[in-house]
Structure 1
Amino acid sequence: MDRRVFLSLLGITTSAPALHWPTPEPIPYPTRFGKSPRIRLSTVDELDRMNADLRRLDDGGGGDALLFTVRTQLRLVVQLLDHSRYTDATSQRLHSTAGELMRLAGWLAFDSGKHAHAERYWQAALRTAHTAGDRALAANTLGFMSCQAKDLGNPHQAVTLAESAHAEYPGASPRVSAILALRAAEAHATNGSALECRRAIEEAFTKLDSSITTAPDWSYWLTPGHAHGQAGFCYLQLGDHSNARRHFRHALLLQDPAAAREGTLRHTLLATTYVRQQEPDLDQALALAALAATTLIDDVTSTRCLGHLNTLVRELSPHHRRPAVRQFADQVHTATQRHRAFSAATSATRS
């Protein structure tokens, strides 16, 4: 289904280079006329409202539970593009809507550990964003691709993608600029470039302090609390555990209670700072880790969060004789088994 959607809608291969999205000549909107039903801008407005709800649903439970729903929504928009008639203005909006759904599907696939699917969705999102002339969507998609490259151990590619996104969208709103700066900061931190990382973090918080509030709806998620969480990750990567803890604690203090996945991630990474410091504080680490594991078992289905918790289990393995360490490892094992059962059940339902 994925490949048919991409090739029929976009006419591209999945190996199209991500960095070639900004070109001098815009691609004409493929306007459709004839006897097919007409799509009005009010219909696109309603589709965008539905997409906004889908983005916010992801904040709570994670990507595994929502990907099928987003793919269904994307199929609907593709059908409208293929079988309806519309004006140039509606065509532009419909392509932006489709591109944002592809971007969101890529994020959900990434959060679910489906990296090849995520890359294909994001390549398609870039092509669709270019068709729509939506540079903000294209820059945001490149930022997510940078995040994936970082997690897959390709720091140089992560930096290239993040800097391309940052450079190719100079007219961004302050919040979008902050998003792109934090993507660059994470890439530089993973690459070990401390100076560039700190500069990007400073730029992001400066942009967030701007009095200008106009921004695309998809950028709503970058709050000061989320920015502190990303800054904490950067300092953890750089081995600056004191600054990492300061930012993670700010992130948890400012966190939206509904954002269960981010709470799981912040508690896990905060616990990691206590394990990695020169003299590990296991009591602090295990108390925080237990909170993260409990939330993951009860409320969150995110392969990415589960991966961070399993990394923490491995880092605690030298202390496996402690009962609390074994108890935490058992919690993570329970979360892993629950996650596998959920994925199997979901796959069976979809088939």
Structure 2
Amino acid sequence: MSEQLHRTISLDELGWPEDGLEVAPASAGLDLPWSSAGALQAAEVVNESGEMMHRRMFITLLGSALTSPAHEWLIAQSPQDIASTTGRPLSGKVVDHLDAVTASLRRMDDHLGSGQTLGLVRQHLSTVVGVLRGRSYSDSIGRRLHATAGELLRLAGWLSFDGGHHIQAQRFWIAGLYQANAAGDRGLGANILGFMSCQAKDLGQLRQAVTLAETARASYPATSPRVATILDLRAAEAYANNRSVTDTRRALDNAFGRFTDSRPEHGDPDWSYWINEAQAHAQAGYCFVKLGDWPRARDHLRTALRLQGNEYTREGALRNALLATTYVQQEQPELDKALALGDQAVQTLTGQVTSARCIKHVRNLVGSLAPYQRTSAVRRFFQDAKDLIAM
């Protein structure tokens, strides 16, 4: 509030007591060694319900609090041997089963959204952490387990972010970076930084968003075209929010160029499955919306919707809301087209998928339609969307 209003907001103005209130960064309790033991402790710390979130603590999420964990991960040395001799031996087949559940949870999120999936992800994470803590395994299996935990923490952070819980998301992602380091998995860590960049731009931390996106790109050896595409698109989004047209277009050109080289022999990780042609066009459309280039935005978003088919997903709702916005904001608004797309977004978000992030875009659409509220069709849309955007 102090940053937005350009003046200091005191605790007294908010009706909060001055005494005993702790102020800490989102990384509080996560200043741990970059070792397998530190990674395991980080996962346990963030997955404990309500830890560090009691009512007497206010956790900040600004400036260097967003980027310092990225720098620490970038320079940290991956541990040389993370084998464990505790408990009964663990076979690779068990890790295969754990990864299969993780893959299922990722795809469940696509259709149900954050509200109905996060609890399941946290339960599965507890299982993986328990295996890491209580079983014996070789170095290679240990790294696979840490990679699984890291992907679950990445997914938990994404679900928290999608639900509007930014501090919780940040803590999951920081813990995920510890797992990526223990696993020696640069792609996983870079992907987490990409999501942190996405969060930073949503929080209005545009400089930090660019820093995180470029750190992700610089840290990844580009062995998987799909992963490299994801990182280029994150950079494009960061630059678009920063109104840097040249950098946005360059990043988008890189992304689409890499995507055409997604041959199976590259060994793309399973978590990169979501980046397909439809998603690449959707993210490009988002970038051009941010740049105010309505024709280019519309071309990409139309392509994304055509390629996705008739699925009622969170991303489909987002694409409809963004495309509707282009019809409102263009020089000669086409309200009928905008309202038809807005109706589809509201329908999906009301009865199919839970996503605070997508609801925010519907709320933005409602705001852009405000000058036309004397029109009966616009008033009807406002009424239909009222309960949704009040969430």
TM normalised by structure 2 equals: 0.81
- Give the Cα–Cα distance (whole angstroms) in 2 for the partners of residues 228 and 170 of structure 1: 24
Sort the Cα spacing of 1:224 and 1:38 in 2 relative to 1 into closer, same or farther, 3 A.
Answer: same
Sort the Cα spacing of 1:6 and 1:53 in 2 relative to 1 into closer, same or farther, 3 A.
Answer: farther
1:252 and 2:308 are equivalent in the alignment: no
Give the aligned residue type for 1:190: N
One of 293, 303, 306 as aligned partner of 1:240: 293
Q: Secondary structure at the match of 2:153?
A: helix
One of 92, 97, 106 as aligned partner of 2:143: 92
**Cα shift at 1:323:** 1.5
Corresponding residue for residue 7 of structure 2: none
Corresponding residue for residue 220 of structure 1: 273
Q: Secondary structure at the match of 1:22?
A: helix
One of 329, 336, 342 as aligned partner of 1:276: 329
Sort the Cα spacing of 1:329 and 1:109 in 2 relative to 1 into closer, same or farther, 3 A.
Answer: same
Choose between structure 1 and 2: higher helix proportion: 1
**Cα shift at 1:278:** 2.3
1:312 and 2:344 are equivalent in the alignment: no
Sort the Cα spacing of 1:286 and 1:181 in 2 relative to 1 into closer, same or farther, 3 A.
Answer: same
**Cα shift at 1:336:** 4.4
- Give the Cα–Cα distance (whole angstroms) in 2 for the partners of residues 171 and 245 of structure 1: 30
Give the aligned residue type for 1:177: A
**Cα shift at 1:334:** 2.9
One of 217, 221, 232 as aligned partner of 1:181: 232
Give the aligned residue type for 2:335: L
Unmatched runs of 5 consecutive residues or more in structure 2? 1-27, 33-37, 47-64
Corresponding residue for residue 301 of structure 1: 354
- Give the Cα–Cα distance (whole angstroms) in 2 for the partners of residues 215 and 188 of structure 1: 26
1:64 and 2:76 are equivalent in the alignment: no
Give the aligned residue type for 2:298: R
Aligned residues: 336
TM normalised by structure 1 equals: 0.90
Unmatched runs of 5 consecutive residues or more in structure 1? 341-351
Q: Secondary structure at the match of 1:137?
A: helix
Instruction: String of CA shifts for 1:95-116, please: whole Å, max 9, x gaps.
Output: 0000000000000111111111
One of 16, 20, 27 as aligned partner of 2:79: 27
1:290 and 2:349 are equivalent in the alignment: no
Sort the Cα spacing of 1:211 and 1:62 in 2 relative to 1 into closer, same or farther, 3 A.
Answer: closer
Sort the Cα spacing of 1:75 and 1:103 in 2 relative to 1 into closer, same or farther, 3 A.
Answer: same
Instruction: String of CA shifts for 1:97-150, please: whole Å, max 9, x gaps.
Output: 000000000001111111110000000001110011010100000000011111
Cα-Cα RMSD: 2.1
Give the aligned residue type for 1:155: L
Sort the Cα spacing of 1:198 and 1:17 in 2 relative to 1 into closer, same or farther, 3 A.
Answer: same
Corresponding residue for residue 81 of structure 1: 132
One of 98, 101, 105 as aligned partner of 1:47: 98
Contact 1:6–1:124 (CA<8 Å) still a contact in 2? no
Sort the Cα spacing of 1:28 and 1:266 in 2 relative to 1 into closer, same or farther, 3 A.
Answer: same
Moved over 3 A (4+): 3-16, 256-259
Give identity over the alignment, percent: 48
- Give the Cα–Cα distance (whole angstroms) in 2 for the partners of residues 325 and 160 of structure 1: 40
- Give the Cα–Cα distance (whole angstroms) in 2 for the partners of residues 160 and 290 of structure 1: 37
**Cα shift at 1:87:** 1.3
**Cα shift at 1:159:** 0.6
